[in-house]
Structure 1
Amino acid sequence: MRRWNADVMLEPGLNKAILSRLGKKCRNFSRKERAVAICLDGMSIKPELVYNAKKDIFYGFPYTGTQKKIERNKTSILATEAIVIMVSGLGPLSPNKFKNDTASRSGRFKQAVGYMLAHHSLETTKQLNMITNAVQALKGRGLYPLVLILDQCTTNVKMIHEAGAIAEKPIIMIDSAEIAVFYDNPHLIKNTKSMLSKHNAVFKGKIASFSHIRQLYLKDQICVPRLVPKLTEKLINPRPFMAMNVAQATRTLSHSVAVGLEYYALSGDLPLSALTTASFVNFFDELFDTFNSKIDKSTAKLSRRSITQSSYHWEFLKEAKEILTNMHYTANTCFDEKFADRDSKN
């Protein structure tokens, strides 16, 4: 399909040709292999107006693929964001299915099926309508959409709330089907690192602080050999837009950083309060690995192993739910949990 896509004319909206091709490719899939996730993500684009003389059409205006092309457009309002809808398989495929095609290294297939162009942001009703059409189109081709994965931008949060999803039950109903809503793991770990760099966290009733990680770097950088070599100046004082980098967040909130904090705290080079920060870092490292797990066997970390009905992940997730429910942020100058609620930021 990847080679075939190169010859497909792409226009905003759901691409019927791609959906039709995807349906034919999935005819021999088992019921388990037909379970898919719908992924929604946006990216900024440079506003530009282009005229296609062959088709006598101007490109560059906001367009979802559903409006009439004869509508009047203002040249002062051009598309600044592209929102893409992708379909991804939830389970591994047999070796002979999608071979050398759209299958990823993990054995799951993924395929973009449409996109929309918006000025700054898309209206929640239009975005939800696009997702509804995607669910209906996929079900009509024999696939079973079970999960909607998106980031925490304002439009997405507002959209799922309007669709009826709540924290206690993150489910929306589309075309008589229950679709679970899931904020994607990379954005969550980036947001966690960003919040910790600006505020202290009240974690398990004690204070976790990014200042401890900064002290760890200053202490460890002069040691030979280094205990945490991947903790660099770029992670401690990131340049503009570096906060968007997932690798920067996972290297900061990593198991090796947690071990480094524990070692220097117990050796007396860091305050003992750094042990709480070590516990915070190790917890989110394990949480990230749990939601990103896909390896059947891993001798390094149990959390990286695939989730099964009997795996330890369920007990950990039960504990994680309680921890996250009680966790909140406070001012980065507060190091006494007794006064944390005074300036808390939930």
Structure 2
Amino acid sequence: MSKQYIYGYEDLGHLGRFPILANHALVFMIRGIRRTWKQIIAYYFTANSVTSLSLKKLIVLLICELQKLGFKVVCTVCDQGSTNQRALKELCQDNVDKASPFHFIVNSEPIAVIFDVPHLLKNTRNALIGNVIQFESHKEVKFEYIERIFNVDQEKRFKTLPKLKKQHFNFKDSFMLKKQHFNFKDSFMKMKVKVAASQLSSSVAAAIETYVSTNVLPSEAIHTAHCP
């Protein structure tokens, strides 16, 4: 029997359908810890991002359904999107016995909150753009030095940093012109974890050390090499 549905609008399952054109898909997946396997268990069509309240309800619903099937859910893993952070923070604050920023409770079972490690690397790079990270009283990390060694490397016939491309430093302004807050022209480039991994790689650290030893960079730049 036909359901007489028109697909393409926001659909959050039991939370309801809404007359708003969907442009994203919210996907939930489970994976094993002791064995390597994974399976998509639910997806929803959304208009941009869902609200944190809706996300909270979906997370709890799906964990309950998995527990009914005999799965032992031990943690959630996601990136640090603002909606994800808020939903998980509120779930942790809802703990009846003791509020904790690290886990929440579903049917008396603790569920740990983990943010995706590769995305933590990307967010560290994003924080470094336009800011200085101080990891000791006299040691500072500056993205300026990463861009400077890239520019020097581009003048060489045989590249030391072949994985870095000009579009990876696609800022509205250059660090070479003025030091202020910088944003990517290409937001998709900013979201790519592999770009952040290349910019904070051991190859970059080695290049900085080399250029410091040859006086191409100031001695303080070595602290930026130590951070990656």
Pick which of 271-280 and 162-171 moved more.
Answer: 162-171
Q: Does residue 160 of the first structure (1) align with residue 88 of the second (2)?
A: yes
Deviation at 1:168, TM superposition (A): 6.8
- Give CA-to-partner distance per residue, 1:129-181, whole Å, 9 cap, x none: 21112112212222211110112122111111211259974111112111110
In the alignment, structure 1 residue 179 sits paired with structure 2 residue 111: yes
1-structure distance, mates of 2:16, 2:127: 43
Residues 1:167 and 1:216: Cα distance change in structure 2 (over 3 Å)? farther
Cα offset, 1:55, TM superposition? 3.7
Give the percent of matched residue pairs that are identical in Structure 1 and Structure 2. 30
In structure 2, the CA distance between the partners of 1:168 and 1:210, relative to structure 1 (3 Å rule), is farther
Match of 1:213 among 138, 141, 146: 146
Aligned to 1:170: 102
1:131 equivalent to 2:48? Answer no
In 2: Cα distance, 1:266 partner to 1:274 partner: 10
User: Do the aligned residues in 2 keep the contact of 1:203 with 1:276 (CA within 8 Å)?
Assistant: no
**1:310 matched residue in structure 2:** none
3-state SS of the aligned residue for 1:228?
coil
2: distance between equivalents of 1:133 and 1:182? 19
**Which residue of structure 1 aligns with residue 211 of structure 2?**
264
1:164–1:171 Cα contact (<8 Å) kept: yes
Gap change, CA 1:168 and 1:273, over 3 Å in 2: farther
Superposed structure 1 runs of 4+ greater than 6 Å apart: none
Q: Check whether the contact 2:92–2:99 (CA below 8 A) recurs between aligned residues.
A: no
Aligned pair partner of 2:121 in 189, 199, 202: 189
Q: In structure 2, what is the equivalent of residue 151 of structure 1?
A: 79
**Distance in 2, Cα, partners of 1:169 & 1:159:** 12
Q: Give the residue type in structure 1 aligned to 2:39.
A: Q
More displaced 10-residue stretch of structure 1: 262-271 or 222-231:
222-231
CA contact (8 A) 2:103 2:110 kept: yes
Shift, 1:234, TM fit: 2.4
Q: Number of matched residues?
A: 209
Q: 2:158 aligns with which of 213, 216, 225?
A: 225
Residue 119 (structure 1) aligned to one of 30, 37, 47:
47
TM-score by length of 2: 0.82
Q: Which residue of 2 aligns with 1:64?
A: 12
Change over 3 Å in CA distance of 1:127–1:68 after alignment to 2: closer
Give per-residue Cα distances to partners, 1:199-220, cap 9 Å, x unaligned.
Answer: 2222223221111111111222
Q: Provide the C-alpha distance between the structure 1 equivalents of 2:16 and 2:214, rounded to a whole number of angstroms.
A: 69
2:174 is aligned to none
SS of equivalent to 1:84: strand
Indicate yes or no: 2:1 matched with 1:78: no
Listed as ranges, the matches of 1:307-322 within 5 Å are none
Query: Does the 8 A contact of 2:92 with 2:101 survive in 1?
Result: no
